[in-house]
Amino acid sequence: MSFGRMHRKEDARFIRGRGTYTDDVRLPGMLYGAILRSPHAHARIVSVDTGAAEAHPKVRAVITGRTLEGLGLAWMPTLSRDTQAVLATDKARFQGQEVAFVVAEDPYSARDALELIDVEYDPLDAVVDARRALDPDAPVIRDDLEGRTGNHIFDWEAGDRARTDALFERAEVTVAQDMIYPRVHPAPLETCGALADFDKVTGKLTVWCPTQAPHAHRTLYAMVAGLPEHKIRVISPDIGGGFGGKVGIYPGYVCAIVGSIVTGRPVKWMEDRSENLMSTAFARDYHMRGEIAATRDGRIQAIRVKVLADHGAFNGTAQPTKFPAGFFHVFSGSYDVEAAHCEVTGVYTNKAPGGVAYACSFRVTEAVYLVERMVDVLAAELGLDPAELRMRNLLRPEQFPYVSPTGWEYDSGDYPKALRLALDLVGYDKLRAEQADRRARGELMGIGISFFTEAVGAGPRKHMDILGLGMADGAELRVHPTGKAVLRVSCQSQGQGHETTFAQIVGQELGIPADDVEVVHGDTDQTPFGLGTYGSRSTPVSGAATALVARKVRDRARIVAAAMLEASPDDLEWAGGRWSVVGDPSAGKSLAEIALAAHSDLELPEGIEGHLDAATVYNPPNLTYPFGAYACVVDVDPGTGQVKVRRFVAVDDCGVRINPMIVEGQIHGGLADGVGMALMQVMAFDEDGNHLGASFMDYLLPTAMECPSWELGETVTPSPTHPIGAKGVGESATVGSPAAVVNAVVDALGPYGVRHADMPLTPANVWRAVQGRPFRTDLAIP
């Protein structure tokens, strides 16, 4: 039927250069915005003089924090119920923070005018190292918040502390390791931006911007700007990659809206790459201490974690209200552990806000990295093979559904099968033999294993929300009289191929070709409400909504078919894309025939409306839990510390695969991310809070040269709660792969007694680890 490999519908426009990204949209009379940003990480703003900029012949407006204050828009709510400055009024709190907005006739003039704005700053000491944020003498960053005397944001814990501590006290073996998951940035190739068009006559505001959550944006604009929600239309056109960085609302979006309201003309603002890296959603920045209690024969009993979470200057992480550390407490991972406990403390620093971005599945990325690194630390302590240690502790298939010690209910899985497959594909035993040979010759080769369990597809909405908006998503399906269909969904693709995958789901359910289904998304005037695409939730949530709305249509089609066949609906069966009389397949009607009849003069039973359409809202009963086993082989140059990823085997189980070609593509991309984060990517700062990774010359991303040819394997364990058994896969590889790479490098460095080294494992970092002098990769502070 319709599931299976199928070329993507969206490719036809992209290969011709005919995609429509936000910056490709142009409107008559359009003006251009540019943002002046603070050069200081922490500074009091003494004065802002915009006179010369306003006198520039091409400038149409200059907006400052003071202008916005007059409109009540100087501050906006963040997705974590904090506030964030749209344009700074009192202080700049991170380098690159938005201070003023210029609107001009062309983009070059807007940039020119930024140079004409004179801001007097009074620089303050910056809090750069999260570990110093809570020092009694640390500068207070958020003195705008009433009664705030320090940089503490929250303390949060999960699991059973007493039981965990008791197991640690009695344990035969314990290991502990400090580790940093450094601040990184998703760096989609399309930066963020917005085009706002406020029509004074109709009062309608239309905003084009690359948002992963168009409906949430509209509701928030209504709340922030006080505009009536029905007069706001958010259009999220083609998006050039998102990876979580395009969930939030950025100050520039609000500035573009204000600019359009002030000038009466459309205003487009697109950030440049430095602005993107310095001011939009970073990810990670978790400073973790992990501990494992185990028996001497390698039975993991308990895991304990303490985290210091650097949230930047405004707490803007996009995650459910109940979970300030996201889903980090899934950190007991894939193992059968008696007890677990974690404590997370969030702090403000003089860095950009954000925090949940970059394919992280609400911080499952940090959790998986922690536990997978810790298992290797334990293996080293016990002198056990890391693959064998994992095999001894993995959850067994008969334990599902499994309730974890921190309260997650894993839906389904066969973990040992996935790990065995990965070990077979990589040829694990042979590689260990080769490693021994090479070590004897003084060569450094490493083999790293990681196993991950993800928790994706949020809600259920009673537990999960964004700013009080529950995580449930709508779908609407209409079958036209000729049997072609249009599906409208609340989520928005950033490259995942929804136009193809969702058409395949409808095709599968209705027995029509996927090519006959048009998928509409990314426009709040055209689609039902829902929270959008992030946390790998499109297929688990919107995909489920799509399947269920198609089944509703199929049920209606049954009644219409019964009227056509002059039979009882109970006597019909669905087979081969037709409703037919049981036992008489020749007396049947295809969906196209039924659709035409549903729009015709055919008399339908009492209470049955005509036409063939339906709507639904899917509130997931549980998350889905994709999992996988990864194996990485690296060679390390002992002279330079250069790491070469020789091979990478990834076995993923994301339940039923709708379009395996697209699924594999998602995995490939995530694996490259894992290699990038493990070996190259870091956003470092100096002691004054200067951003040291504000361009692609400093923030290094993997190219085709750093990536090996990925080797994939799969197992399929359907989700019992999802209508088609799918689990979501968008983030799996990004979540699972960094630990495999780091484990491989640390394994390679075994002869030097190295048990841990922090990402990114650049040549310098590897070399220092070998010397026993590791340093903080995220800080350029002596």
Partner 1 sequence: MRVTVTVNGQPHTREVEPRLLLVHFLRDELGLTGTHWGCDTSNCGVCTVRLDGVPVKSCTVLAVMADGHEVTTVEGLERDGELDAVQKGFVECHGLQCGFCTPGMLLTARWLLDRDPDPDEATIREAISGQLCRCTGYENIVRSIKWAAAAEQEARS
Residue 100 one-letter amino acid: A
Shortest distance, CB of residue 541 to partner 1, whole angstroms?
A: 20
Nearer to partner 1, 27 or 222 (CB): 27
| Closest distance of CB 13 from partner 1, Å | 8
Q: How far is the CB of 19 from partner 1 (least distance, A)?
A: 5
Q: Which of these, 390, 391, 354, lies nearest to 375 by C-alpha position? A: 390
| Cβ at position 744, least distance to partner 1 in Å | 17
CB 707, min distance to partner 1, A: 5
**For partner 1, which is the closer residue by CB, 107 or 638?**
107
* Nearest partner of 474 among 399, 531, 555, judged by Cα: 531
Instruction: Tell me how far, at minimum, the Cβ of 108 lies from partner 1, in Å.
Output: 7
DSSP one-letter string for 366-384: HHHHHHHHHHHHHHHHHT-
Query: Which residue, 569 or 665, is less far from partner 1 as judged by CB?
Result: 665
Residue 199 β-bridge partners: 204
Written as one string, the DSSP assignment of 690-735 is -BS--STTTS----TTT----EEEE-----SSSTT-B---TTHHHH
Residue whose CB is less far from partner 1, 12 or 575: 12
Query: What phi and psi, each to the nearest 5 degrees, are found at residue 566?
Result: 55, 50
**CA dihedral angle for residue 179, residue 182, residue 186, residue 192, rounded to 10 degrees:** 140
C-beta of 116 vs 254, nearer to partner 1: 116
Residues 6 or more apart whose CB falls under 8 angstroms from that of 204 comprise 198, 231, 232, 233
CA distances from 110 to 35, 106, 196, 208, 695 (A): 9, 6, 16, 20, 21
The 10 Å CB-count burial string (b at 16+, else e) for 77-88 is ebbbebbbbbbb
Asked whether the beta carbons of 283 and 165 are under 8 A apart, the reply is: no
Residue by residue, what is the 3-state secondary structure of 595-650?
HHHHCCCCCCCCCCCCCCEEEEEECCCCCECCEEEEEEEEEECCCCCCEEEEEEEE
CA separation, residue 52 to residues 56, 103, 118, 258, 717 (Å): 7, 14, 8, 21, 65
Q: Shortest Cβ distance from residue 450 to partner 1 (Å)?
A: 17
The two three-digit tokens of residue 411, written as one number? 């839906």
Task: Return the number of the residue (275 or 310) whose C-beta is nearest partner 1.
Answer: 275
Report the residue number, 16 or 296, with the smaller CB distance to partner 1.
16
489 contact partners, CB below 8 Å, separation of at least 6: 473, 474, 475, 498, 502, 519, 520, 521, 527, 528, 530, 542, 545, 546
What is the H or E stretch that residue 651 is in? strand 643-653
- State the minimum distance, in angstroms, from the CB of residue 544 to partner 1: 22
265/461 with CB nearer partner 1: 265
Q: Which CB atom, from 36 or from 667, has the smaller least distance to partner 1?
A: 667
Does residue 48 contact residue 100 with C-beta atoms inside 8 Å?
A: yes
Tokens (6 digits) for 219? 């509701």
| Binding residues for partner 1 (CB under 8 A) | 7-8, 10-21, 23-24, 107-108, 186-191, 238-241, 243, 272-274, 494-497, 661-662, 664-673, 695-697, 701, 703-705, 707, 709-710
Q: How far is the CB of 212 from partner 1 (least distance, A)?
A: 12
Nearer to partner 1, 86 or 675 (CB): 675
Q: What are the DSSP calls for 184-198, one per residue?
A: B----SS--EEEEEE
Residue pair 80/348 in contact (Cβ under 8 Å)? The answer is no
403 strand-pairing partners: 409
Pick 117 or 663: Cβ nearer partner 1: 663
- For partner 1, which is the closer residue by CB, 115 or 437? 115
Nearer to partner 1, 744 or 749 (CB): 744
CB proximity list for 649: less than 8 A, separation 6 or greater: 422, 425, 426, 630, 631, 632, 711, 712, 713
Q: Shortest gap between Cβ of 440 and partner 1 (angstroms)?
A: 29
The token duo for 620 is 């997931």
Identity at 382, one-letter amino acid code: L
Distance of alpha carbon 428 from alpha carbon 633, whole angstroms:
10
State in angstroms the smallest separation of the CB of 688 from partner 1.
23
Cα–Cα distances in Å, from 363 out to 211, 359, 537? 20, 9, 14
Angle at 295 between CA 290 and CA 297, to 5 degrees: 120
Task: Quote the least distance from Cβ 779 to partner 1, whole Å.
Answer: 24
Q: Which is nearer to partner 1, 271 or 372 (CB)?
A: 271
What's 132's DSSP letter? G
Q: Per residue, what are the HEC states of 295-363?
A: CCCCCEEEEEEEEEEECCCCCCCCCCCCCCCCCHHHCCCCECCCEEEEEEEEECCCCCCEECCCCCCCC
Q: 140 or 701: whose CB is closer to partner 1?
A: 701
Residue nearer to partner 1 on the CB measure, 183 or 311: 183
- Token pair in block for residue 459: 């809600």
Task: Provide the minimum distance between the beta carbon of 317 and partner 1 in the complex, in angstroms, as a whole number.
Answer: 21
Min separation Cβ 580 and partner 1, Å: 37
> Minimum distance between the CB of residue 17 and partner 1, rounded to whole angstroms?
2
Phi, psi of 644 (to 5 degrees): -120, 120
Nearest to partner 1 of 17, 583 (CB atom): 17
- The least distance separating partner 1 from the CB of residue 672, rounded to whole angstroms, comes to 4
Specify whether the CB–CB gap between 100 and 50 falls below 8 A: yes
Q: Shortest distance, CB of residue 431 to partner 1, whole angstroms? A: 21
